[in-house]
Structure 1
Amino acid sequence: MVSRVELFALIRRDARVEGLSVRALADRHGVHRRTVRQALGSAVPPPRKTPARSSPVTGPLREAMDEILRADLDAPRKQRHTAHRIWERLVDEHDAEIAYRTVSKYVARRRPEILLEARNRAGVMDGFVPQTHLPGQDAEVDFAEVWVNVGGVDTKCFLFTLRMSFSGKAIHRVYSSQGQEAFFAGHVAAFTELGGVPAGEIRYDNLSSAVRRVCFGRSRVETEKWVLFKSAYGVTSFYCMPGKEGAHEKGGVEGEGGRFRRRWFVPVPKIADISGLAGINDRLAAADHAEDARHIDQRTATIGQDFALEAPLLAALPVDEFDIALTTTPRVDRYARITVRQALYSVPARLIGQTVRAKLDAEELVVLHGSAEVARHPRLTTKGGQHLVLDHYLEVLAGKPGALRGATALVHARQKGWFTATHDAFWAAARAKHGDQAGTRLLIEVLLLHRRMAHAHVIAGIRVTLEAGSVSPDVVAIEARKHAAAAGSTAGDVEVEPPGPQRSRSKVVSLPERRRDSDLPPDSRPAPSVAAYDQLLSNTPKKGNAS
């Protein structure tokens, strides 16, 4: 079939070569004379007219749907009409007999048109303006959500990103929250990795970690600690406009978070517990170095090559280190716990009723009493969450052994693998031999050994003791020392004999068993006697004759 362009070319050629009339050309090509005149007038066929089709169902409802879509422009983003909700309103309010698919197709086509009309009326035109950034000057900061498998459970974490505007060099760190401590820790890690501080402005969203109140325009009331941090590091902040209006003002880091997440967090990383985020951050530091070989857009130089130009232009790091930790002075409750950021942490029971000092950073809580550290916990991000250490309650449990079975700290110790099946075996054997209370106290004595001996050595001591049929904590301590000596290490303040020749693991035996051993030489010593002391009895004055 000949296209309209080819048809017009044939008509024009026949007219030019053979000089045929309009009627003759129309007869030869089987077209209307109007088409011939169009071909002779222009080599380009005129566009076909799209016939106006009537919409008997949609037509009367178009204005109603347009009003709903226009009203959505001023409605909250999460409370705007879906196509299904518009269809429901048409049916309820207009008694319309219209299919949902018809409404859906109309809304999908009409919604962007109405948005464009509104922007045109406001004098706003969509598009992007290329930007030029000076080396070593500007940067952008943002948090992005990432998922990490923690102990078999997918957990939401937060990826901190600081991106240099000139080179595109970005530093990434992942934290369990996006609180102020993580905000500061990300900056410190980024500045340390870059070797300096951006000399110009750093662009931010209106994060609560930095901004206490958003005022008119770009005026902000900043948090006191953020002001101190900025002063210490010489940071100049620039706050973007809230919402979508200001998203383009730091578009580089907005896209960087998603790109980096797809590249380095797929598949989802797996860690045993939240403390494993430190290992992920080590891998992210290596990933940041690998990214130096990447090209951005159509640049001929790599990120690393561009950053080499701006690294000498960064402002110097401060001489004194800024303490980013949140310091509080909570009081220890009767359950030997303190509350920090709506989470509960245990401390040694001897501190019940006293005030301690807690320092909370991005991933860890350190508890001090005076100048001595008394507890260390991973940071919790769940409101009302608890992290309890069994060792903190041993003195209390020694007086209340019945409380051990249902202790929350014991549940946590089992989950973390600190309280093992070997402990359970010792506990069961001790209760079977001495009863519940006495057997539990023996277990607590064994648990106290962990304070001055390595965990593996105590476990080894328990196993040897059980094999010998004993449940004595003293035997466990002796066997733990032997295991430490065989391993060539010391256990706390316990003295260990110098390592001697390699020996097999010793067996705990009783004295009667040793006497029956056939390979021992016969004992020729006389049986012990107390006859020599009988003379003392004859010299003892009788009762009543004492002078």
Structure 2
Amino acid sequence: WLEADRMLPRKQRHTIRRVHDRLLAETDYDGEYSTTMRYVHRWREANRGMPDREGYVRLEWAAGSMQVDFGMARARIAGEMADVHCLVASLPYSNMRLCVALPGENAECLCHGLMLVFEHIGGVPPVIVMDNATGAGRRNAKGEVALTGVFSAFVAHYRLEVRFCNPYSGNEKGSVENAVGFLRRNLMVPPMRAESYGQLSRLLLERCDGLARDSYCPRLPDVPVAE
């Protein structure tokens, strides 16, 4: 299956979960997901240099670096269905994914959401990579971003280094884009219920912790992401 994937578009290839599900459904295999994951990782490492239809460079992320992006989801807040702006943060090195619920995507919501994430993980990442300048500032015709006053003060307070992705380099933000879809499918189906955005954020973070305990770090296959 992995060899046959070379002839398919990259977004239509087997994930590790899909390989594991097919093994259980179509063969006599009865191994654990972690066993499948270790095998697939070894196969990909061994075959990385072989010819492929598409060339790519694997990005290396330092431990602690964080990617941030917004995604939309429906949820019931205080009995009413609402469009929730989900601030998603991913730590590519460990594949940790976190999500909080906000009413908008302006600078105040962005700063508040990041504060909730920092408090939850008990630390501040040295580098934050953002998908675009929404809520953080404005991008001019040259591609330069001028931070808003609120976000500039937030960055100075936490002593962060903030980087903005190149609009033509989607691979720079692949981790968080995958996290947005993954968390929406795994946490927000069916739509969640809460009395407030604060309560919904707490529920989302609790579920993110549960997913992290049940999955493994891609670089250390025997170590749960939560560790």
TM-score normalised to structure 2 length: 0.69
Equivalent position SS for 1:129: coil
Q: CA deviation at 1:213?
A: 3.1
The 1:192–1:152 alpha-carbon spacing in structure 2 relative to 1, beyond 3 Å, is closer
Q: Could you say which residue in structure 1 is the equivalent of 2:30?
A: none
1:162 maps onto 2:82 in alignment: no
Conserved 8 A contact 1:215-1:221: no
Which protein has the bigger helix share? 1
Counterparts of 1:402-413 in structure 2 under 5 Å?
Answer: none
The 1:240–1:298 alpha-carbon spacing in structure 2 relative to 1, beyond 3 Å, is closer
Q: Which has the larger radius of gyration?
A: 1
Equivalent of 2:226, from 289, 304, 315? 304
The 1:298–1:213 alpha-carbon spacing in structure 2 relative to 1, beyond 3 Å, is closer
Q: Could you say which residue in structure 2 is the equivalent of 1:211?
A: 137
CA deviation digits over 1:56-80, x for unaligned, max 9? Answer: xxxxxxxxxxxxxxxxxxxxxxxxx
Q: Matched residues in 2 for 1:163 and 1:147: separation?
A: 21
Q: Matched residues in 1 for 2:157 and 2:91: separation?
A: 20
The 1:126–1:281 alpha-carbon spacing in structure 2 relative to 1, beyond 3 Å, is same
The 1:152–1:197 alpha-carbon spacing in structure 2 relative to 1, beyond 3 Å, is closer
Equivalent of 2:147, from 222, 237, 259? 222
Equivalent of 1:132, from 60, 63, 67? 60
Q: CA deviation at 1:215?
A: 4.3
Counterparts of 1:514-529 in structure 2 under 5 Å?
Answer: none
Q: Matched residues in 2 for 1:270 and 1:173: separation?
A: 14
Q: CA deviation at 1:238?
A: 0.7
Equivalent of 1:295, from 216, 220, 226? 216
Equivalent position SS for 2:226: helix
Conserved 8 A contact 2:68-2:88: yes
1:281 maps onto 2:205 in alignment: no
Amino acid at match of 2:179: E
Equivalent position SS for 2:69: strand
Amino acid at match of 1:295: Y
Amino acid at match of 1:176: P
Q: Matched residues in 2 for 1:261 and 1:268: separation?
A: 9
Q: Could you say which residue in structure 1 is the equivalent of 2:35?
A: none
Amino acid at match of 1:169: M
Q: CA deviation at 1:174?
A: 0.7
- Unpaired stretches in structure 1, ≥5 consecutive residues: 1-124, 306-547
Q: CA deviation at 1:152?
A: 5.7
CA deviation digits over 1:121-165, x for unaligned, max 9? Answer: xxxx844322222223x1100001110134665321111111112
TM-score normalised to structure 1 length: 0.30
- The percentage of aligned residue pairs carrying the same residue is 22
Amino acid at match of 2:138: R
Equivalent position SS for 1:202: strand
The 1:266–1:227 alpha-carbon spacing in structure 2 relative to 1, beyond 3 Å, is same
Which protein has the bigger strand share? 2
1:246 maps onto 2:169 in alignment: yes
Conserved 8 A contact 2:101-2:201: yes
Q: Matched residues in 2 for 1:210 and 1:246: separation?
A: 19
Q: Could you say which residue in structure 1 is the equivalent of 2:162?
A: 237
Q: Matched residues in 2 for 1:190 and 1:270: separation?
A: 20
Superposed CA RMSD: 2.1
The 1:156–1:227 alpha-carbon spacing in structure 2 relative to 1, beyond 3 Å, is same
CA deviation digits over 1:230-271, x for unaligned, max 9? Answer: 0000111111123xx232211000000110111111111234
Q: Matched residues in 2 for 1:298 and 1:205: separation?
A: 24
Q: Could you say which residue in structure 1 is the equivalent of 2:192?
A: 269
Equivalent position SS for 1:158: strand
Q: Matched residues in 2 for 1:298 and 1:238: separation?
A: 24
Amino acid at match of 1:283: L
Equivalent position SS for 2:196: helix
Q: Could you say which residue in structure 2 is the equivalent of 1:260?
A: 183
Greater length-normalized contact order (CA 8 Å, ≥ 6 residues apart): 2
Conserved 8 A contact 1:171-1:193: no
- Unpaired stretches in structure 2, ≥5 consecutive residues: 1-52
Q: CA deviation at 1:205?
A: 2.2
Equivalent position SS for 1:146: strand
